[in-house]
Amino acid sequence: MTPPAAFTLDALAGFYTAGGSPVAVAQEALARIEAYADPALFITQVPREELLARAASLPKGPLYGCPFVVKDNIDVAGLPTTSACPDYRYMAGDDAPVVARLLAAGALLLGKVNLDQLAAGLNGTRSPYGTPRNAIRADLIPGGSSSGSATAVAAGIAAFSLGTDTAGSGRVPAAAQNLVGLKPSLGLIPTRGTVPACRSLDCVSIFARSVAEASAVLAVAAGPDTADPYSRAAPPSWRAMEAAPPALRLAVPEAAQLVFDTPEDAALFDGAVARAEAMGATVTRVDIGSLLGVAKRLYDGAWVAERTSAVREMVLQKPGSLHPVTRGILESGLDRKTVDAFDDFHAVAQARLLARRLFASCDALLLPTCPGVPTVATVLAEPVAANSRLGVYTNFVNLCDLAALAIPSGFRADGVPSGVTLVGPAFSDGRLAGIGAAMHAWAGLGAPPAPPPPALAADELALFCIGAHMSGLPLNGQLRGHGGRFLHAASSAPCYRLFDLGNRPGMIRMAEGGASILGEVWAVPAAKLGPFLAEIPPPLGFGRVTLSTGATVLGFVAESEGVAGAPEITTRGGWRAHLASKAG
């Protein structure tokens, strides 16, 4: 059987279901590497015979037979790790935990790919192994530092890839090569076995062609590592993919805080905002000046010294082994003062506080991934200034302990790609994925439709919400605080009446008559249901509610005595429609 033309998880799964062999996929991947003919792409390939032997004996799992590559600052047992610095080279004795998890899930490793040396850069041109060719337009930068990781997926060689992200290295290459770039919450994927850049900020990132596929990889890769001091366990309610909130609230920077390389880049971002509004999102302009300000400290503050500390011996003893631009960055870290570092720490703490306030009133912050994608020649002419410009909207994210998801947003007339990034609080990865999948599909840029909402987990119960706890309404944060996650919109069976109790509705069941009431079904951890109920004031509580489908779930109901004398709003059909009528 001939392997699928597109190495996507769905296409490969279909190929294997029909009887296809991972050996054939491995042979096809080798042929694609040869045809792409870019000597700057791989630093180390898995030898041909070893690759074919691995393909013949893969464990069955959710990533069975999916070819992937890893950035060469992530350890793979038996292969060298160079971090694009030949004198730094060492032979890895063990797989990094993230690699081990992917291999155990059946993924097929092709090799290790190029990067900006020591992961210091956002453009992809700072490697002694050369600059990987941008698979979309050869004169453009591939993006960095995860240059090879993005190129391998964009060129159709790998189904997905691992990069790393400290300042935007998992997002800028995605914009440069029309990919999805998933930068998870800090500590969600272990970074043990990864050459540190800024150890306290580093993330392992994922490149794929669609949000759903990146999230599927994240579901395998995520999880705590007891040997990694920066690893964190996600909340029990965390999922790699959630449904997009039905009343989506997006924040967008004020016009004065938006910078672009060309008017066309600006128009592409405006188009992404307009599409979000057409999807039904409420878009609010916000001041992100504090976030942009703290971003400047990443390369002009304590975190430069943190970068230097990771490779101090090389900086002091073998400076000639380093790329000139990388050496300049790292040597500057030797002179940083501790007293100044505390100014940086306090500034970041203030920015994190402001970020929490921002996300209390929106589901995500929508940003350009970068002002534009420059040519290699432009970056080589201004290696520091051009690189800094690429990080305008990425540098603050890890500093502020935020999650981010980069998705394509179209092309300029000259074929230069563009991307936007969704940013949210720590462990909002699943929510960002739901929003990003919907936006990517809406844009019609080749991504598959958004996947159906995830099912209830064994430790969750469905709760039908009909009032202020629904998405985008004032008490939704209370529901999310107890681990609630949106599943889908729904309506009750036509046997209920609805009343206005002031700041929330009350719903009662009728033996005869009544109407269908619109609401939302949320998943809530069973262990959190009691504490949540304790916060609900009378006359409201939880009871069994019959949905229009005939299913019976828990839901918000009121005592009959508690709604006596309250205005009836049943004919409005739901609380949202009632609020809209009052506002109008």
Residues with catalytic annotation?
71, 145, 169
Return the half-sphere exposure (C-beta side, CA atoms, 13 A cut-off) of residue 80: 15
Cis peptide bond upstream of 449, omega within 30? no
Token pair 């501790």: residue? 338
501's tokens: 């109790």
71 three-class SS: strand
474's tokens: 């004032």
50 three-class SS: helix
3-state DSSP percent of the chain in helix, strand and coil, to 5: 35, 20, 40
Region of 168 please: left (phi>0), alpha (psi -120 to 50) or beta: left
CA distances from 292 to 262, 317, 346, 351, 362 (A): 20, 35, 15, 9, 18
115 vs 73: CA distance, rounded Å: 8
Beta strand pairing call for 552-558 and 460-465: parallel
69 φ, ψ (degrees, to nearest 5): -130, 160
510 vs 223: CA distance, rounded Å: 47
**Which of 112, 40, 47, 117 is CA-nearest to residue 76?**
112
6 vs 177: CA distance, rounded Å: 16
411's tokens: 């092309």
